[in-house]
Chain A
């Protein structure tokens, strides 16, 4: 039983660890070198955040990027230990790997928490020194949330398009009361007759279906909107019909109450209460949502706004239950309150705004993205001469930490090589690491 608990806690920790990470990484070396900013013209995945980019032509300087997964090489050469029974198994290293998918090559890896843990025990005295591990616990609260809705295969004709539509939404908030935070984070003594409380609120849902819509010019002057001599207003709308696959939400409160003696026969009382709502694939019903976007080009300035999941709703037949600690048996029991209850879940609306322009020989770009629980922003620029591009940028990640980047692009006729260096804090301890990204660029045709 104890072993099972350890495994469960470990899994829970692994699941919760992305809370400490700082948002998505850039797979495109050009964007990465420019601080992760959304590239002019939308870039490879621009239409995911702003559907209007589906209708924007790539322009005369268009190219196709193929990112190179440099980071997979060392991982494949020396894969992490997945067997928890092996001495070199490290749950935190695995969590860091999941938090920062090793697409890019880590030149400087943040230190994995690896110190010894000290527990000081005396009669009615207990304290824990977690060392580096204390950094993974939230000072205030830890939140991680997101909506993943693409990319997905689509087929388009004259601006209209239809395709598949996946959607995953997750949102978790973990909070400790002051006493528990003091013990885990600050190394305070565990006190007698004290409540140590953890609150966790989680919702996750997955759905899939079809998308259809239209994106194209509402107004345009000239064929290439990227040309400063031309202008245009491009708009897009995407309707999503979604069938729910799975839904789960839980509001959990776990309380450990110490008694008169920390090391007596009954040192603590554990009380758990959870309010649960769940639906399985057979319980899913249909839902719908809308994405809207616009991109405006005028005198070489590009400005885009995308709004996703406007009034996205999913319908379910859910089971509502409560779970609690039985005071007689001391076991956690679950009691169903209602079954097959009609329930409609929401998918939060997300927003992106971006702008780009040329200033002299520089291309400058900026974006801001409002996600489910966080706002990120990026700014970057590039300039070049004789087939060599120099790029730099910076961004605020989901933890509001400043990250910087730089890189070069080398062009050899129709083929180019992009290299990027960027800092990131996508790890448990929020320490900065340095990644190297690379990609090949295949130019559609030479600039005139």
Chain B
């Protein structure tokens, strides 16, 4: 009972799920990651013709657990999930590219063993700091994740250094990572 007791605090809120009303969960996923672990400086990556040095996928956030509301599965059915992220990338020197991937998985499955929820490639331009906004809707597998109390997520990067010119150095960090979960009340 104790582990479900938080329901009582939200029970009246859940009543709003009666009729056409929905329960909207705004989850600040990034808050589960320590500030120091949200970004990663890299470099210098020297130039390597003809395509530049490629670094295999490495975790920026590694298999972080997120604990949601106890008992959501008993009261509400998740209808839709929207995931948005704001990624900051900066090259202090050199050119190159990166591909950032987000993985979400059930609590008992390592996140990176599942298909990425999104992947976004971006280019490093020397001396330029940019933010890239990503927003995707979750497929059925992702929607189902939010019917559970816990899930895991990982964020990975795959850097590619310059083919020529100065070595690439810079920073990749996540400035925001939100999930908006729209649920409807289950029949009583």
**Which A positions have Cβ atoms within 8 angstroms of B?**
1-3, 5-7, 9-10, 13, 84-85, 87-93, 113-125, 128, 130-131, 133, 137, 183-184, 190, 196, 254, 256, 262-270, 330-331
A-B residue pairs, 5 tightest by C-beta: A2-B74, A122-B31, A122-B28, A263-B67, A85-B187
Which single residue of chain B is at the shortest CB-CB distance from A262? B6
Counting chain A CB atoms within 10 Å of each CB, the highest count among B1, B5, B18, B70 belongs to: B18
Q: Is B138 an interface residue (CB 8 A)?
A: no
**Bound Cα distance from A422 to B70, whole angstroms:** 47
Task: Using known A-B contacts A266-B2, A331-B1, determine if residue A90 contacts B12 with beta carbons closer than 8 Å.
Answer: no
Q: Is B134 an interface residue (CB 8 A)?
A: no
Whether B8 lies near A128 (C-beta < 8 A) is no
Q: How many residue pairs bridge A and B at CB < 8 Å?
A: 138
Q: Which of A84, A88, A93, A119 has a CB less than 8 Å from the CB of B188?
A: A84
Counting chain A CB atoms within 10 Å of each CB, the highest count among B15, B24, B71, B75 belongs to: B15
**Bound Cα distance from A119 to B9, whole angstroms:** 12
Q: Which of B2, B4, B12, B19 has a CB less than 8 Å from the CB of A9?
A: B12
Chain A contacts of B75 at CB under 8 A? 2-3, 6
- Over the window 101-129 of chain B, the binary record of Cβ atoms lying under 8 Å from chain A Cβ atoms (1 yes, 0 no) is 00000000000000000000000000000
Q: Is B13 an interface residue (CB 8 A)?
A: yes
Whether B7 lies near A114 (C-beta < 8 A) is no
Chain B contacts of A3 at CB under 8 A? 74-75, 186, 188
Whether B67 lies near A264 (C-beta < 8 A) is yes
Task: Using known A-B contacts A2-B74, A6-B14, A256-B9, determine if residue A88 contacts B19 with beta carbons closer than 8 Å.
Answer: yes
**Bound Cα distance from A122 to B68, whole angstroms:** 9
Q: Which of B13, B14, B20 has a CB less than 8 Å from the CB of A87?
A: B20
Interface residues of B in 12-41 (CB under 8 A from A): 12-28, 31-32
Whether B12 lies near A121 (C-beta < 8 A) is no
Give chain B nearest CB distance to A161 CB in angstroms: 47
Whether A91 lies near B9 (C-beta < 8 A) is no
Whether A6 lies near B69 (C-beta < 8 A) is no
Which single residue of chain A is at the shortest CB-CB distance from B2? A330
Whether A133 lies near B9 (C-beta < 8 A) is no
Whether A84 lies near B18 (C-beta < 8 A) is yes
Task: Using known A-B contacts A116-B24, A270-B8, determine if residue A125 contacts B31 with beta carbons closer than 8 Å.
Answer: yes
**Bound Cα distance from A89 to B15, whole angstroms:** 11
Whether A114 lies near B21 (C-beta < 8 A) is yes
Task: Using known A-B contacts A122-B27, A268-B2, A270-B5, determine if residue A117 contacts B17 with beta carbons closer than 8 Å.
Answer: yes
Whether A9 lies near B15 (C-beta < 8 A) is yes
**Bound Cα distance from A39 to B20, whole angstroms:** 44
Q: Which of B9, B13, B21, B28 has a CB less than 8 Å from the CB of A268?
A: B9
Q: Is B136 an interface residue (CB 8 A)?
A: no
Chain B contacts of A85 at CB under 8 A? 187-188
Q: Besides A3-B188, A268-B2, 12 other CB < 8 A contacts?
A: A93-B19, A115-B21, A117-B23, A120-B28, A121-B69, A124-B31, A125-B31, A133-B12, A263-B68, A263-B69, A268-B5, A268-B6
Chain A contacts of B20 at CB under 8 A? 87-88, 114
Task: Using known A-B contacts A3-B188, A6-B14, A270-B2, determine if residue A117 contacts B8 with beta carbons closer than 8 Å.
Answer: no
Whether B188 lies near A117 (C-beta < 8 A) is no
